[in-house]
Every structure is written in structure tokens, then in C-alpha cells.
Amino acid sequence: MNWDAIGAVAEALGAIGVMLTLLYLAFQTRQNTHVLDQTRNMHEASTFRANMDGVMNLQAVLAQDDQLALIWKKGLAGKELSELEVARFEAYLNMYLFEQEHKLYLANADTANFTEMGGMGMIEQHIEAQINYLMRSEHVRNWWQMNATRTFSNVFVAEVNRITDT
């Protein structure tokens, strides 16, 4: 065998090696993409579950406390509240809004990834609906004006103000 033939065989083997490497890398990239998709779906489901758990916990408080449920309903309707009722209404409102702030944080914890994922707009829509519902109450609006900046993060205050200005 001459050197030209050996060189041609080596070149052919090298080309085959490059092709096998490229096929392997394509397979690995495809597998990695699949794993990333699964992880993203699990993260989205986990965030949705955390959102629902928060909502259910807030509802459970009202379901288990008849007096608080009546105070909450009365306060949202703008009816007059006693001093004790105001304290309980505001305590629950504070808890409620902290839950909304937490959901907003979850929805924006990793803005780039959440934006790519889509679906996170659902949590933000839920927050907007809840804020708009709450802000219909004069009690809530007054409390918000007096307490928002000293109680909540600037990001949450700005978001609530944006929602209520529209």
C-alpha cells in the first residue's frame, strides 16, 4: 500500500469520526432540550400550585372564621366597621396583599425564563383581578393609601398603583 492510499483511508476515517461526533452532539442537544422542556413544565406547575395553595389558604381562613368572613364581606361592601372589626379587616387585608405580593414575586422571579415559558401571565392576570376587586372597596383604598409604602416593596406598590390607574 502506498502513502497516498493510507492518507485517503485516514482521511475517510477522520471524516467518519467527525460525522459520528456531529450525530452524537445532535442527539445530546435534543436530549438536553427535552430535559429543559420537562424542567420548565415542572417549574410552571409548581408555581401554579404555589399560587393555588396561597389562594386556598386565604379562603380557608375565612371559611373557618364566621366572624372574620362577615367582617371581610362588610368591609369590602364599604359598610361601617367597629374599631375591632377595622383591626381584623386590616389584618386580613394585610395578609391577603402579602400573598398577592408573593405571587407577583414568583411570577417575576426570573423574568427572562418566565417570559419565554409563557403561561405566567395567568398569575399576573389573577393578581390584577384580585387587586381590582379589592380596590373597589373604600376601606381598602383608604388603607392602601395610608399603609402601602411602609408595608410593601416598592415593586409591589408600583404594580398595584399601575393596576388601579388603568
The three grid cell numbers given for residue 91, joined into one nine-digit string? 389584618
Burial class (CB in 10 A: 0-12, 13-18, 19+), 81: middle
- Which residue did the predictor score with more confidence, 112 or 2? 2
pLDDT value at residue 122: 67
CB burial of residue 74 (10 Å; 0-12, 13-18, 19+):
middle
**pLDDT tens per residue, range 144-166:** 999 999 999 888 898 899 888 84
With bands split at pLDDT 50, 70 and 90, how would you rate the model's confidence at 114? very low
The pLDDT score that the predictor gives to residue 71 is 95
Give the number of domains in the chain. Answer: 1
Query: Could you tell me the residue range of the domain that residue 128 belongs to?
Result: 3-165
Q: Could you give the angle at the alpha carbon of 91 between the alpha carbons of 57 and 163, nearest 5°? A: 80
What count of residues does the chain have?
Answer: 166
pLDDT at 110 (0 to 100) = 53
Rounded Cα gap, residues 8 and 33, in angstroms: 37
Q: Does pLDDT of 59 surpass 60?
A: yes
Q: For 117-136, how does the pLDDT look when each residue is reduced to its tens digit (9 = 90+)?
A: 444 466 777 788 889 899 99
High-pLDDT (> 90) share of the chain, %: 40
